Structure 1
Amino acid sequence: METAISFGTDGWRATLDEFTAPRVRMVGQAVVDYLDGAGLGDDPVVVGYDARETSEGFAKELARVLAAGGHDVIVPERDRPTPLVAWAIVDRDLAGGLMITASHNPPEYNGVKFIPEDGAPALPEVTDRIMENLREPDPLPEERHGNVRRVDLVESHAEQAMDLVGADLSELSVAYDAMHGSGRGTTDALLERAGATVERRRCERDPEFGGVSPEPSAENLEGLVDAVESGDADLGIANDGDSDRIAVVTPERGFLDENLLFAALYDYLLEEQSGPAVRSVSTTFLIDEIAEANGEEVVETPVGFKWVAQAMAERDALIGGEESGGFTIRGHVREKDGVLTALLAAAAESEESIDERVDRLLDAHGDIVPGKISVDCPDDQKAAAMAAIEDALPDELAGRAVAETSTVDGVKLLLDDGSWVLVRPSGTEPKLRVYAEAESTEAVDALLADGRELVEANV
């Protein structure tokens, strides 16, 4: 049974034919054993869950196993965002936590992630230990069981967000789209707490997410884009299913590319603070340009927020983020937080419109256009395909000379005009990803076409 459980980039996710209560209980026992081995066997833990039909039931199963292993367990009073669980771990000095969520995956999926005592994503040495510990529950004698109780996780997180961002949004109107996920009643409430007028969209719980995946992509946010472009709100904000990620909509650009959002947030923070930025290898070089203009540095990491979080700790970074819309800032938990980032984006907008800020940054540093495609590749062939690609690297792509090669994660070809192409295996699907960035759509399309040709010739 345990062979069906695999902790990947952000925990274990699977369709409900594989993600079953017996396997979830095995994960719970594995966490009990891990905490015992780490000297945290008597410390309390938290178990959270998202808005999916099965999530609360799975959370109750986990809580029972953890309590039977000797831990007091706190559980939120309803489905709540992943970042609230991460903050509770640090704020309440817990041994760690488990979150039942499949994030932006379709409703037929569910998942579980373990968050260690520092509130940051678990590194491989932790998840490997949990995988090694998988076994049937082995409860302690009943007199040694912990208790399970419901608590409010919203207030403490809201206070932390307000302390960090300190925004006065009394002149701002925001359209907020929860996509029927766990951000409803959390992100919108935080924005209102800071003074914003909030128009709510899809803020009712729907375990089917209205028939679409709770992924805050451009195609899933057309209604939000229409609301902002029609003048009904100054800014649009959406979260994914468990609200660890964010999307922003502006009046001029509509759906704002997450790379440009990252740039705007870093620029805003640098007005009153200093510090490096951490970005994944697939994220825009515009962050590097902004850092250099402010005498700061950028740390590049592999894809996966656990690596961003690790580098943030090592470098005391001001902000860390990924092109997929996950961000956090210094002074907070090192876990992506779409609730906190919503307040940060609104604060930036209230000072200077994000559209104007992005215009100014692009005027100063040049246009950037990102792109991404996927090429099918079975999981068991990914390593061989990547090795073949490394052995067949071209001297140029789309007529531009390759100036440098990086292997931080996959293979990244840096071209002589500042554009780049990245090829890396997906951590969640049987595909190889090809990313590119250049100064125009035409240039990106040409780079992606050559990147696809390179991959298909070696898969």
Structure 2
Amino acid sequence: MEAITFGTDGWRAPLEEFTTPRVRMVGQAVASYLSDEGREEPVVVGYDARETSRGFAEELARVLCANGFDVLLPERDRPTPLVAYAIVDRDLAGGFAVTASHNPPEYNGVKFIPDDGAPALPEVTDAIAARLAKPEALPDSEHGTVREVDLVSPHADAALELVESITGEVDLSGLTVAYDAMYGSGRETTDTLLSRAGASLERLHCERDPEFGGGAPEPAPENLTELVDLVTDDDGPDLGIANDGDADRIALVTPERGFLDENLFFAALYEYLLEDDAGAAVRSVSTTFLIDRVADAHGESVHEVPVGFKWVAQAMAETDALIGGEESGGFTVRGHVREKDGVLVALLAAAMHADEPLDERVDRLLETHGTVVQNKTSVACPDHEKARVIGDLEDEIPETVAGTTVEGVNTADGFKLQLADGSWLLVRPSGTEPVLRVYAEATDEARVDELLEAGQELVSPLV
């Protein structure tokens, strides 16, 4: 049981730790939790493209059935946001996604999604963790059943309807999109949705490969060079889109910029939505202040939350925000489930680009609100040392960083040092890897590099 810990977004671990007996214990814990909550509705169990994911999903289904729950399974690996949507659309008790997201193939993971389709908050994961136990079984006559269902069509219908309500119509005819599934679950889901909306598709890595081509399905610039080369070619497609391994996150590639920084896309998307709607934005503490500038210009507010989409989702519910997102490429919008959805946002981004090229939108955004640059790095730190290091850091906060006065300290998630020149430095523990994240934002790359170096020098002696 000690090996099972629920981090930023569920439990992830290397396969030597992520074992069938432990997965079954998680299944039993959720079954017990749902039963104690008086829930009797079916549970959906989705999974990603990893070699072991279908097997783990079936183990969860067996445990749930033995506890009296009917279980819905997709016919193959499908994106996590489709699982979240199905929970709300079908009025289910909740659901599982067996996925390690962007982690390399030697990892797997599992997350429980409650009945509202949003990521589970700590009170739920704590209640589940308290119920971890070896599986039990009701009499055979009380067992539930398992059946395969289509998760794709209902989600696609809802995505098209929502984007149409935002844009007036969804017509991508004449638009060519290069789509990189990174061998993950977005294949034949995101690209199919774009095609259904009229786009012409050029597909990269849209076959299943449980080894993800020998890397990790992380839509970072260094992993998308083929997509960038394709889109930035003189005769290339109009837009590039990539999803991570379970397609809850998105990356964009444009003809002029190549890889489009997720912060810039977030700000451009928010400003686009504000053209015909109103509402606040929710962003994580590691996400750009450019969102705040856009909000201020439109008389709107911004809610800053700790890293982890569960906090974004919670704030969206409390504030009826128009959009919520993180700098890592996870976004959702009002009117959809409160879970990051790289499939929906791919359609929305393509419709936005068809209306006006993203490069032109971003140029205008920066001309209006000023330039920002952000980057991050990591400092290795064992999981069991993270709390101590962050605690020790409290006594080491300097008065100046890289020659600039520290004007404020935000402790919502680690330590965010707000500097007199408008830049900031953030140090926080990763919820998915044995590292401390160091983030910085400023007006140019040289200043960001300077801040990141200062952050590493601040943290490294404490590890």
Aligned equivalent of 1:321, options 316, 322, 325: 325
Partner of 1:180: 183
1:60-459 correspondence to structure 2 within 5 Å = 60-166=58-164, 167-230=170-233, 231-459=235-463
Partner of 2:37: 38
Q: Deviations over 1:62-108 (max 9, x none)?
A: 11111111111110111100000000000000000011111111111
Partner of 2:167: none
Partner of 2:52: 54
- For residue 409 of structure 1, report the CA deviation from its aligned partner: 0.9
Using the TM superposition, name which of 408-417 and 295-304 deviates more.
408-417
* CA distance, structure 2, for counterparts of residue 353 and residue 441 of structure 1: 25
- For residue 136 of structure 1, report the CA deviation from its aligned partner: 1.2
- For residue 424 of structure 1, report the CA deviation from its aligned partner: 1.1
Using the TM superposition, name which of 389-398 and 69-78 deviates more.
389-398
Contact 2:186 2:343 in 1 (8 A): yes
The residue type paired with residue 18 of structure 1 is E
Q: Deviations over 1:355-409 (max 9, x none)?
A: 1111111111111110111122232332222222222222221222222111111
The TM-score with structure 1 as length reference comes to 0.98
The TM-score with structure 2 as length reference comes to 0.97
* CA distance, structure 2, for counterparts of residue 273 and residue 83 of structure 1: 24
Contact 2:9 2:431 in 1 (8 A): no
For the residue of structure 1 that corresponds to 2:462, the secondary structure is coil
- For residue 431 of structure 1, report the CA deviation from its aligned partner: 2.0
* CA distance, structure 2, for counterparts of residue 239 and residue 37 of structure 1: 37
The residue type paired with residue 218 of structure 2 is E
The residue type paired with residue 431 of structure 2 is G
* CA distance, structure 1, for counterparts of residue 25 and residue 392 of structure 2: 38
Identity %: 70
* CA distance, structure 1, for counterparts of residue 332 and residue 41 of structure 2: 27
- For residue 432 of structure 1, report the CA deviation from its aligned partner: 1.7
For the residue of structure 2 that corresponds to 1:8, the secondary structure is coil
Point out where structure 1 has 5 or more consecutive residues left out of the alignment. Answer: none
* CA distance, structure 2, for counterparts of residue 407 and residue 15 of structure 1: 30
- For residue 283 of structure 1, report the CA deviation from its aligned partner: 0.3
* CA distance, structure 2, for counterparts of residue 17 and residue 244 of structure 1: 25
The residue type paired with residue 292 of structure 2 is D
Report the number of matched residues: 457
Point out where structure 2 has 5 or more consecutive residues left out of the alignment. Answer: 165-169
The residue type paired with residue 248 of structure 1 is L
